[in-house]
Copies of this chain bind each other. A is one copy, B any other.
Amino acid sequence: MEMATIKDVAKLAKVSTATVSRVINNSGYVHEDTRKRVEEAIRQLNYRPNAVARSLFKKESKSIGFIIPDITNPFFPQLVRAVEDTFMKAGYTILLFNTDGVLDYELQLIELMKSKYVDGILAVSNSIKREHLQDLTIPVVSIDRVIDPDLPSVSIDNYDGARQAVRHLLAKGCRKIAHLSGPENIDNARERCQGYLDEMKRNNMHPLVYPGNYELKEAMNAVLMLLTEHTDVDGIFAGNDVMAVGTIKAATKLGYKIPEDIKVIGFDGIDIGMTITPELTTMEQPILEMGRKGSELLLDLIHGKKIEQKRFVYQAKLVERHST
Residue ranges of A at the interface with B (Cβ–Cβ < 8 Å): 1, 3, 48-53, 55-56, 61, 63, 70-72, 74, 76-78, 80-81, 84-85, 88, 93-98, 111-112, 114-117, 135, 137, 216, 245, 248-249, 252, 271-272, 274-277
Find A93's partner among B49, B52, B112 (CB 8 Å cutoff): B112
Please name the residue on chain B nearest to A54 by beta carbon: B115
Contact, CB under 8 Å: B52 / A216: no
Please name the residue on chain B nearest to A70 by beta carbon: B81
Contact, CB under 8 Å: B48 / A245: no
Contact, CB under 8 Å: A63 / B277: no
Find chain B residues with CB under 8 A from A117 CB: 50-52
Known A56-B56, A249-B275, A276-B277; contact A96-B114, beta-carbon cutoff 8 A: no
Contact, CB under 8 Å: A137 / B216: no
Find A71's partner among B63, B71, B98 (CB 8 Å cutoff): B71
Find A52's partner among B95, B115, B245, B272 (CB 8 Å cutoff): B115
Contact, CB under 8 Å: A98 / B115: no
Cα distance, A277 to B247, chains bound together (Å): 12
Find chain B residues with CB under 8 A from A56 CB: 50, 52-53, 56
Contact, CB under 8 Å: B55 / A84: no
Q: Smallest distance from the beta carbon of A292 to chain B beta carbons, Å?
A: 14
Contact, CB under 8 Å: A78 / B72: yes
Cα distance, A52 to B49, chains bound together (Å): 15
Cα distance, A257 to B76, chains bound together (Å): 33
Find chain B residues with CB under 8 A from A55 CB: 52
Find chain B residues with CB under 8 A from A98 CB: 81, 84-85
Contact, CB under 8 Å: A72 / B63: no
Contact, CB under 8 Å: B48 / A115: yes
Find chain B residues with CB under 8 A from A252 CB: 277
Cα distance, A95 to B48, chains bound together (Å): 19
Would you list the 6 A-B pairs with minimal beta carbon distance, nearest first? Answer: A51-B115, A96-B96, A1-B135, A71-B77, A51-B116, A52-B55
Please name the residue on chain B nearest to A134 by beta carbon: B1
Find A277's partner among B50, B74, B94, B277 (CB 8 Å cutoff): B277
